[in-house]
Amino acid sequence: MRRRPLLFLLLPALALFSAVYVTNARRAQLREGAVYCIARPGQVWGLGPVPAGAAPGCPQSQSYRREVREGFSRVEQYTLPGWRPRALLPVFEKAGFVSHPLMNDSGQSFAVLLNRGPEQVQYAADLQPNGETLIGLSGKP
């Protein structure tokens, strides 16, 4: 007779444990998904909204995944139609970043260093073979 009350206590506890486990596993899966590196979805570098037409992405490299996960580096990528190398600069400028050219727009690549006080972000745009612009942002967390 005493087994039944114990069973009624264990089943809800097991259900609660399972729900917490599944929720945490799902969060980890989302963090490690295709956009694992985007700190705030819908935001460029957490500073402002992603411009229309820009698709967020992250490097597929396992070493990048590890560095981002361990907090050694921060990286975001955005793909845009056509050659639009400066598309994300207004977000940084509005947030008070100052750009220092590293490479002039050659029609195929463009790079600037963005500074705001001690913060530094490397901004690099490359024309892809399919005609799209790939913009990579990297820096310290």
For 35, 63, 90, 126, the CA distances from 134, given in Å and listed in that order, are 15, 20, 17, 5
Do 49 and 96 have their domain in common? yes
Do 49 and 16 have their domain in common? no
Do 76 and 40 have their domain in common? yes
Q: Check pLDDT > 50 for residue 87.
A: yes
* Total count of domains within the chain: 2
Do 57 and 8 have their domain in common? no
Do 51 and 2 have their domain in common? no
Do 26 and 43 have their domain in common? no
Q: How far apart are CA 43 and CA 41, in angstroms?
A: 5
Residue 101 β-bridge partners: 112
Domain that holds residue 70: 35-139
Determine which helix (DSSP H) or strand (DSSP E) holds 52, and give its type and residue range. Answer: none
Tokens at residue 136, please?
A: 């990579």
* pLDDT 10s digits, 31-47: 457 788 998 999 999 99
Query: Mean pLDDT score of the chain, rounded to an integer?
Result: 84
How many CB atoms are closer than 10 A to CB 37?
Answer: 22
Q: How far apart are CA 45 and CA 51, in angstroms?
A: 12
Question: Which residue, 66, 99, 85, 68, is CA-closest to 128?
Answer: 85
pLDDT tier for residue 25 given thresholds of 50, 70 and 90: very low
Give CA 73 to chain center in angstroms.
11
Do 24 and 87 have their domain in common? no
